[in-house]
């Protein structure tokens, strides 16, 4: 079956540090890959996505590249801010039985300190 | 546009009580989903509806029922609540249906449910 593995948290960084959150996946075929972000007390918001191999998704300074050869979709940001403190979820979408359901990783909590 | 809305935001139930969680979307999306979020587990799919009038089971459907009332609304019912159903429940919607369309899902703010 489909699965997503992302690095365990929590991750604590100082402001302006470089961020990497690792994500690898197992799936048949060619899934779409996503990063969602959840700020405290809120629902999930789409951060970025990529739909095919070598695509790079980007938004708000965050980037992730769809690497089929390593089945990975690592999230990166060059300089984090306190406002980036949140839980980040990696996910994949496959059209099994027409559901297009999302399979999520367990989430990585990021705390950025001034 | 309000996007995806959910009611209530918080609810406390006693074991054996029933309740319905409401979800509505104003984006004219075809597909709607119910997930639960538990600590350290990510989100897991309970039920989904790929079009008005259809519903299908997800990964963890036991103890739940759903109704796709119309294109806008998708409700989740707990007939006899159990402590194991203590969780945060998220509704989501997607523009496409079971035959295709974009695969991006948009989430509501969640309902935090505690069963004592």
What are the pLDDT digits (tens) for A40-68?
888 899 999 999 999 999 999 999 999 99
B11: pLDDT strictly greater than 70: yes
Q: Provide the phi-psi class of A51: left if phi over 0, else alpha when psi is between -120 and 50, else beta.
A: alpha
Taking only the tens place, the pLDDT of each residue in B76-110 is 999 999 999 999 999 999 988 777 778 889 999 99
Q: Does A13 lie at the interface with B, CB-CB under 8 angstroms? A: no
Distance from the B110 Cα atom to the nearest Cα atom in chain A, whole angstroms: 6
Q: Which residues contact residue B105 at a Cβ distance below 8 angstroms, ignoring those fewer than 6 apart?
A: A46, A93, A100, A102, B33, B92, B93, B94
pLDDT score for B42: 85
Mean model confidence pLDDT for chain A: 93
Closest residue, chain A, to B90 (C-alpha):
A43
pLDDT score for A29: 80
Query: What is the C-alpha to C-alpha distance for residues A71 and A50, in angstroms, rounded to an integer?
Result: 13
Averaged over B63-87, what is the pLDDT? 96
Query: What is the C-alpha to C-alpha distance for residues B21 and B1, in angstroms, rounded to an integer?
Result: 21
Residue B47 contacts residue B58 (beta carbons within 8 Å): yes
Averaged over A12-34, what is the pLDDT? 94
Other C-beta atoms lying within 10 Å of the C-beta of residue B95: 15
Confidence of residue A2 (pLDDT cuts 50, 70, 90): confident
pLDDT score for A96: 63
Cα-flanking dihedrals φ and ψ of residue B84, to 5°?
-65, -10
Averaged over A70-77, what is the pLDDT? 97
With a CB-CB cutoff of 8 Å, which residues 33-52 of chain A face chain B? Answer: 34, 36, 42-46, 49, 51
Query: What is the C-alpha to C-alpha distance for residues A105 and A92, in angstroms, rounded to an integer?
Result: 9
pLDDT score for A98: 66
Averaged over A21-44, what is the pLDDT? 92
Residue among A42, A97, A104 minimizing CB distance to B42: A104
Across the interface, whether the CB atoms of A100 and B110 are under 8 A apart is answered no
- What count of CB pairs under 8 Å joins A to B? 65
B37: pLDDT strictly greater than 90: yes
pLDDT score for B1: 73
């Amino acid at each position: 079956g489909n699965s997503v593995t992302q690095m365990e948290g929590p991750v604590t960084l100082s402001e302006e540090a470089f961020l990497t959150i690792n994500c690898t996946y197992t799936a048949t075929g060619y899934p779409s890959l996503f990063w969602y972000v959840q700020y405290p007390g809120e629902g999930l918001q789409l951060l970025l996505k990529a739909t095919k191999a070598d695509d790079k998704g980007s938004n708000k300074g965050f980037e992730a590249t769809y690497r089929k050869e390593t089945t990975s979709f690592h999230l990166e940001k060059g300089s984090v801010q306190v406002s980036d403190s949140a839980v980040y979820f990696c996910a994949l979408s496959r059209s099994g039985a027409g559901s297009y359901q999302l399979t999520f990783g367990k989430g990585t909590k990021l705390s950025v300190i001034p | 546009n309000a996007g995806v809305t959910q009611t209530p935001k918080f609810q406390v139930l006693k074991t054996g009580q029933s309740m319905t969680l409401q979800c509505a979307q104003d984006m004219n999306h075809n597909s709607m989903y119910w997930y639960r979020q538990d600590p350290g587990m990510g989100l897991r799919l309970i039920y989904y509806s790929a079009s008005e009038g259809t519903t299908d089971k997800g990964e963890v459907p036991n103890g739940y029922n759903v109704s796709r009332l119309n294109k806008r609304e998708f409700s989740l019912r707990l007939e006899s609540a159990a402590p194991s159903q203590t969780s945060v429940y998220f509704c989501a919607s997607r523009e496409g249906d079971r035959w295709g369309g974009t695969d991006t899902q948009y989430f509501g703010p969640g309902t935090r449910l505690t069963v004592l």
